[in-house]
Structure 1
């Protein structure tokens, strides 16, 4: 009978002995209470407590945690906008007692401060300034949270404004404005390219005309030099200048006829081919030169009379 009583006692003693030991994970703090009163804080490793006297009141993680808070507020230019603020925080190792006993719901406390700061800062800004100065908003939130949460044993590591979402109609209007600006810039570039193309084409055409004119001038200069040499040769054999000119004109006339006749794809052209044609052309040229000289002399005499 005694043996049957002894076995439960041993079993109960083993349970009590085993319950005296507990393990605390890395980056975790365990709060031990004795008869409902704070006793100690235990950190990572194998720990021991008095069975039936001490108890584990709670565990706090010492890792960095993140809380995402979404706030809807209005800007200075009356645009409703939703902001997402990410708060990174952790329990201060030396203030585990304050974090456990002074504050029951840290998430709610942090959310309240974030709402308060954002709704105080954003209404002072226009929508464009909210995008540009989102870092200023994050800094203001972090400063306010640090001052408030340090008392409760929490350290605010960093705050970030991770999303800014204006009203749907406002976003559509902003997209249309951006599209219009880009189309305007594209049109300006296309206009500049077209203008450059026209200018370069005009320069190329002008250069072509200049070179063409220079070629014609050189060609006429060479023709004149050749005619001069031909007249000099004919003068040496006793042919005067007028006869030489007539001979050259007739020769050029027949050379032209021969050249036209050799072209198989040329159109039909009717030209005088009698010997008198060259003489007539020469007489017409001489008459034209004479008339031009007379007109020039008359203009000079008229200018001299006006000066006198």
Structure 2
């Protein structure tokens, strides 16, 4: 009786074990490699999957996510024989679970070692300064070399990044001194450029001021010349007008004298005036000159008057 009741229990236990072995759940972004009788059979994708117990087994489990892998630091020697301590990080992803299982005994170690050797080779072809300037080129070169080799491992190398490039302390001090000197040089250049620009601005301002001043002086000279010209024209016009007025006055005076002569008694008045002026002229001549011109008969005043009248009439004065 005990054997009868224990047999169903054993069958139930066997079914439970069989069911446990027959079904498995594959998580998202993972892949399981199944072997049957020790040989690759298939790759299980995410979800509930069926296995044949005792025939199939899950040999490898791979994550299909992007994996960051830290590359240990190492000492690299540059082309100019300078030691650099370099470490980096690799980002890769399993693309073929079967190759990742059987292509390499350990693809992680393989990728790490290949990254180190490739990095030493790349840095060995560069000088120290270039290693700092061309980090992107170094990263691309390492990625290309790793990706080419990782194809047979079922792995895709996405990128490689250098985290630190550390030269020796002596190199660091000399680089710092060089950077300081370069900064001082740029500061002096900037200062000299500022002084130069200031001098240029001052010279330009002075030149513009001189130009403005000369233009003002030229304009003032032009204005003054025009003013003098206008003044001269006005003065000449005034003098001409004065001469015209004097001539007109003289002409009027002559006409008045002529009219007076034509009136009765006018001729006698003119004779008297001429005689007076004739006598006055002889008097002045006696005062202003040492030579005295006298008529033959000084007492003959009538002769003087007759001589004066002959001048008025346009005749030659008689000899007296």
TM (normalized to structure 1)?
Answer: 0.62
1:74 aligned to 2:56?
no
Q: How does 1:91-240 map to 2 (within 5 A)?
A: 91-93=94-96, 96-161=97-162, 164-166=165-167, 168-169=172-173, 172-173=176-177, 175-225=179-229, 227-229=231-233, 231-232=235-236, 233-234=238-239, 236-237=241-242
1:283 counterpart residue number: none
1:28 counterpart residue number: 30
Alpha-carbon deviations, 1:156-201, whole Å to 9, x = none?
Answer: 3444446545454355345425523542452354134313312321
Distance 1:177 1:47, change over 3 A: farther
2:57 counterpart residue number: 55
Q: Distance in 1 between matches of 2:94 and 2:51?
A: 24
Q: Distance in 2 between matches of 1:185 and 1:163?
A: 33
> 1:52: how far off?
4.2
Contact residue 29 and residue 41 of structure 1 kept, 8 A? no
Q: Distance in 1 between matches of 2:80 and 2:185?
A: 22
Distance 1:183 1:77, change over 3 A: farther
Alpha-carbon deviations, 1:204-250, whole Å to 9, x = none?
Answer: 21122212311431343245235424643256536xxxxxxxxxxxx
> 1:22: how far off?
0.1
Structure 2 unaligned spans of 5+ = 244-320
Distance 1:188 1:126, change over 3 A: farther
Structure 1 unaligned spans of 5+ = 239-308
> 1:53: how far off?
4.4
Contact residue 34 and residue 44 of structure 2 kept, 8 A? no
Q: Distance in 2 between matches of 1:11 and 1:151?
A: 44
Contact residue 32 and residue 39 of structure 1 kept, 8 A? yes
2:18 counterpart residue number: 16
Alpha-carbon deviations, 1:261-296, whole Å to 9, x = none?
Answer: xxxxxxxxxxxxxxxxxxxxxxxxxxxxxxxxxxxx
Segment of structure 1 superposing worse, 18-27 or 140-149: 140-149
Distance 1:237 1:192, change over 3 A: same
> 1:143: how far off?
4.0
Between Structure 1 and Structure 2, how many residues are aligned?
235
Distance 1:82 1:223, change over 3 A: same
> 1:120: how far off?
1.9
> 1:46: how far off?
1.8
Contact residue 31 and residue 38 of structure 1 kept, 8 A? no
Q: Distance in 1 between matches of 2:89 and 2:76?
A: 17
Q: Which has the larger radius of gyration?
A: 2
Give SS of 2:225's match: helix
1:260 counterpart residue number: none
1:89 counterpart residue number: 92
